[in-house]
Structure 1
């Protein structure tokens, strides 16, 4: 509309971060647009997000560049104070309005999409920024009082599918960046783990048993034969569990039972984003501006995403690797040989014990173990053709 005039500002928030965009409209035409990442330090010092955004936009503006009307998508905490501040900068009255309907609302929605896009770009860049990742790891070392920098972090999430199948995911971050080739999923034995805490105890136990088993492998011999260490052979410096005190206690109990004392542990509870340490009665509250906190959230969210998409996996190599990981007699070389020969769980399921035994490095004894394991899986609600966990 030719009658539209003013500046349209929208805020978009995700977790601890927010971005804002502005469209400058004169006589119905958009004359310019810009986006900002909201200054969280100012927001913590008393300004709300809109107030902090206004400071970024207008604090250095010339009087002639400040409009008489500013339209926003969220009501500021102190609209009057902001109006008085803008009025003093402009030298004449400025009004801040929050439209409720019509083309102004539609335009603000477009502006918010711009803000959302700007925030996605910003967060994507931060996720691969080595300097930011390094700062986050050092903050975690200090805030959690770790004995060393957590260069490898593993995070575990428990997901219930249709109330019948329970799945755990393990995601790995090294040097603050996702290492997707080492992600794993686990089907939880619900006969011994009927709730999230028992499931967490089970998955940590299973993963750490593999670590202990792989510690007995002679690394020199593996290197000499051209083999590779199992992906479970690399210990995390920090385990993060999705949950609060009960989940942390369950994970710590698993570590204690296995005599593992050199792996740190914490939990991140969703409700208030509290960090729980083993044995503590109260949680840690990390600063909203903490890079370490943001990294913990990103790792936890990635573990959750990976867990809930498990039942949608289709012929996934990760699915097959995860199933083979459940068989302790299979090292990296044997798993690679099986993957190379059969390529899918379906093909392995159709193979006889003799065919499995003819795979290089397998033999009759291990073939019998694999055969039995695959038979059990076919009876446990896993679609062998797709790797999908079936709803009952």
Structure 2
């Protein structure tokens, strides 16, 4: 567990409790501080379905912890429960001395409670990571998704699509795949989208789904055994998903449904997961599907959507970085198209080429030592004028 390096007075003794919650579970971490030193720490995982409606996680855990442990005079928490006065009275009566429950808002105590909260976060991440590989848990989540979305079969293969751009520029899309509720990175795909097409997110979603599903239609009848006998690789898009998830609400779902309809595909289900309220949308539905409060199915859909977003953002950053390098190389004299192409293929980003020496650059066919020195000199002068821009991401720092 991470412990706080904050100096606390030798007169300070208290228990510090903090929580971190996701849809299905919460982690609660306790630090016991006596005479200014952390003398013990412990974490609990709580299934949120076991928490009473209207009861906070911190209130539920205080009751659990101090039914087993003796309460000190002071308990510090990361959030005050609504029934704090009732809890204080119960603790005081049980302990035989006055017990206060408070939330630190500044100073050393706040720093320590933030450390406790980070430990709770790590405890929950570790638990959920192990749990995500549990086939029984994944099976229950898939059954719940199938039931609530009225799917004809379990969605054993789910593909999720996400669009990433900044003000319509450098647009990219990602496709991530989960099979049997588990990540299948070997089937992930990225789609570059031409900025000249002028797509917004909705039209881009239609475009990408059309590309992916056209590939499926072209490859679905390929004989994999024949391809294998000939030493070839299996087609990348030959397997259809039972469920396509798009990042977005009703407009994105409608665009995806239109792509399937135009290709004559009727045996693949679609839903959208909107970020704002985590609503699940179906085609032609006027109202979203409401999953239970701490649903395993909703948690799985969130994991899939968040993974698609992460994968799209990673691709988007690399594309922006390459575009920035292309722009920078255009300004360097004596660099024709073939030389720029060779540099782009070798380095791919401004950051990478700036780390290269002139001798390294000179080894690229067609460059030579004189042009390499010219490139290095130009990059150094450019760095002085662009010193406050992150050349990896394009962000102002």
Same fold, TM-score > 0.5, yes or no:
yes
- 1:283-332 CA-partner distances (Å, limit 9, x unpaired): 01112321111110000000001111113449xxxxxxxxxxxxxxxxxx
Q: Give the TM-score normalised by the residue count of structure 2.
A: 0.75
Native 8 Å contact 1:39 1:52 kept in 2: no
SS of 1:9's equivalent?
Answer: strand
Alpha-carbon distance between aligned partners in 2 of 1:101 and 1:390, rounded to the nearest angstrom: 35
Alpha-carbon distance between aligned partners in 2 of 1:218 and 1:20, rounded to the nearest angstrom: 53
- Whether 2:143 is the aligned partner of 1:138: answer yes
Alpha-carbon distance between aligned partners in 1 of 2:145 and 2:64, rounded to the nearest angstrom: 30
Alpha-carbon distance between aligned partners in 1 of 2:217 and 2:64, rounded to the nearest angstrom: 53
CA-CA distance at 1:134 after TM superposition:
1.6
Runs of 4+ off more than 6 Å: 388-391
Alpha carbons of 1:132 and 1:22: their partners in 2 closer, same or farther (altered >3 Å)? same
Alpha-carbon distance between aligned partners in 2 of 1:105 and 1:346, rounded to the nearest angstrom: 50
CA-CA distance at 1:164 after TM superposition:
1.5
Native 8 Å contact 1:152 1:237 kept in 2: yes
Select which of 246, 263, 272 maps to 2:268. Answer: 263
Select which of 15, 18, 24 maps to 1:7. Answer: 15
Q: Which residue of 2 aligns with 1:195?
A: 200
CA-CA distance at 1:221 after TM superposition:
2.4
Q: Give the TM-score normalised by the residue count of structure 1.
A: 0.76
Native 8 Å contact 1:193 1:202 kept in 2: no
Native 8 Å contact 2:170 2:316 kept in 1: no
CA-CA distance at 1:389 after TM superposition:
10
- 1:57-98 CA-partner distances (Å, limit 9, x unpaired): 22x325xx1222211121222211222332343344321011
The equivalences for 1:138-157 within 5 A come to: 138-157=143-162
- Whether 2:27 is the aligned partner of 1:28: answer no
The equivalences for 1:166-205 within 5 A come to: 166-192=171-197, 194-205=199-210
Q: Which residue of 2 aligns with 1:322?
A: none
Alpha carbons of 1:39 and 1:51: their partners in 2 closer, same or farther (altered >3 Å)? farther
User: Number of residues paired by the alignment?
Assistant: 319
Alpha carbons of 1:148 and 1:78: their partners in 2 closer, same or farther (altered >3 Å)? same
Q: Which residue of 2 aligns with 1:346?
A: 345
Alpha-carbon distance between aligned partners in 1 of 2:222 and 2:287, rounded to the nearest angstrom: 40
Alpha-carbon distance between aligned partners in 2 of 1:132 and 1:213, rounded to the nearest angstrom: 35
SS of 1:173's equivalent?
Answer: strand
Q: Which residue of 1 aligns with 2:255?
A: 250
Alpha-carbon distance between aligned partners in 2 of 1:192 and 1:201, rounded to the nearest angstrom: 13
SS of 2:122's equivalent?
Answer: helix
Native 8 Å contact 2:88 2:99 kept in 1: yes
Q: Which residue of 2 aligns with 1:61?
A: 68
Q: Which residue of 2 aligns with 1:335?
A: none
Native 8 Å contact 1:311 1:390 kept in 2: no
Unaligned runs of 5+ in 1: 315-343, 348-387
Alpha-carbon distance between aligned partners in 2 of 1:193 and 1:303, rounded to the nearest angstrom: 22
Alpha-carbon distance between aligned partners in 1 of 2:304 and 2:56, rounded to the nearest angstrom: 27
The equivalences for 1:97-246 within 5 A come to: 97-161=102-166, 163-192=168-197, 194-246=199-251
Q: Which residue of 2 aligns with 1:40?
A: 48
CA-CA distance at 1:162 after TM superposition:
5.5
Alpha-carbon distance between aligned partners in 1 of 2:150 and 2:36, rounded to the nearest angstrom: 57
Alpha-carbon distance between aligned partners in 1 of 2:142 and 2:114, rounded to the nearest angstrom: 37
The equivalences for 1:60-99 within 5 A come to: 60-61=67-68, 65-99=70-104
Alpha carbons of 1:193 and 1:43: their partners in 2 closer, same or farther (altered >3 Å)? farther
